[in-house]
Amino acid sequence: MTRTTVVTGGGTGIGKAVAARFAADGDRVVIIGRRADVLEEAAKEIGGTALAADLSEPTEVERVRADLAERFGTIDVLVNNAGGNVEMQDGSGGVAERWTGNFRANVLTSVLPTEALRDLLNPSGRIVFMSSIAAFRGSGGTSYGPMKAALHPYAADLAADLGPRGITVNVVAPGFIEDTEFFSGTLDDERRAMLVAQTATGRAGTPQDIAETVHWLASPGAGHVTAQIIQVNGGAERGR
C-alpha cells in the first residue's frame, strides 16, 4: 500500500537521504524546506514533490497544511528533520537573540508542523523527530543541544496522546554524520579524527545510517516502539 510521507528539511543531507529511502519503497514523498531551488532539484532526483516553506512561521505552516490536505487528504509518516545550529553560522548577537534563533530553527520547525498535521495522520501513522547527540552531551556552549533536548519530552507526551490512534512517536539522535551541511566547511582533519575516535565502530556516520533507522521506525515492525530516543552515533555518546 502506497503511503504519503512528509520529510521536513528534505533538500539535503539526512533529510534528503530519508526522503530517498521512502521514495525507493514507492511512497509518495513530499519534502519541505525554505530553499525552493534546492528542494526542486532534490525532488527531481528522488522522485518526490517539493514544497517550499519556512516552518518556523505559523502562517507558512498553515499553508503547508492546506496544501497537503488538498493534495492527499491524509498522510502516513511525518519526519521532522528541519533544523540546524544557527550559532555556528553567526556567532554574533546577544544571548536572547542566539537562543531564540535556535528555538525557531529546531523547536518551532518541529512543533508547528506536527501540531498542524497531527489530525491528518492515518491510524498506524508515524512521527519521527530528529534530535542530536548534543542533547545528551552538550553543544559546546551553544543553545543547539538544549533546543534538541526540548523535543524529547514533547515526543513522549505526543506518543501518549496519539497512541490510542495507533500512531507512534519517536526521536532519532544522530552523532557525527558526514556529508551534511551541518559540518560542511567547519570540520578540519584533526576534529574529524577526534569525532571518529569517539565511536566504537571506528567510522563516521552517514545520512544513510539515519535514513535506515527512520525507515524502520516507520515500518510495521516497529509498531510497538514509541516514546523512544534512538541514538545513532556508533557508541560515541558513551564518551570513548
More confident residue, 179 or 141: 141
pLDDT of residue 188: 80
Confidence check: pLDDT of 239 > 50: no
Per-residue pLDDT of 127-170, as tens digits, reads 999 999 999 999 888 999 999 999 999 999 999 999 999 999 99
Its pTM stands at 0.94
Task: Give me the pLDDT at residue 153, please.
Answer: 98
pLDDT tens-place string over residues 23-41: 999 999 999 999 999 999 9
Is 154 catalytic? The answer is no
How large is the average pLDDT for residues 11-19?
A: 96
What pLDDT is attached to residue 91?
60
Rounded average pLDDT over 172-181: 87
pLDDT above 80 (res 238): no
Of 144, 173, 175, 207, the catalytic one is 144
Of 79-83, 119-123, 184-188, 190-194, give the lowest mean pLDDT range.
184-188
pLDDT, position 237: 65
- Distance in angstroms between the alpha carbons of the first and the last residue of the chain: 43
Flag the least confident range among 34-48, 50-64, 103-117, 226-240. 226-240
Mean pLDDT of 177-195: 77
Q: Is 43 left (phi over 0), alpha (psi -120 to 50) or beta?
A: alpha
Residue 30's contacts (CB-CB under 8 Å, 6 or more residues apart) are 4, 5, 6, 7, 10, 48, 49, 50, 51, 68
> How high is the mean pLDDT of the chain?
93
pLDDT tens digits for range 85-98: 988 555 677 899 99
Q: Is the model's pLDDT at 240 over the cut of 50?
A: no
Cell 497512541 appears where? Answer: 163
Residue 163: Cβ within 10 Å count: 13
Q: Provide the pLDDT for residue 116.
A: 98
Separation between Cα atoms, residue 180 and residue 199, nearest integer Å: 18
As a whole number of Å, the CA-based R_g of the chain is 17
**Percent of the chain at pLDDT exceeding 70:** 93
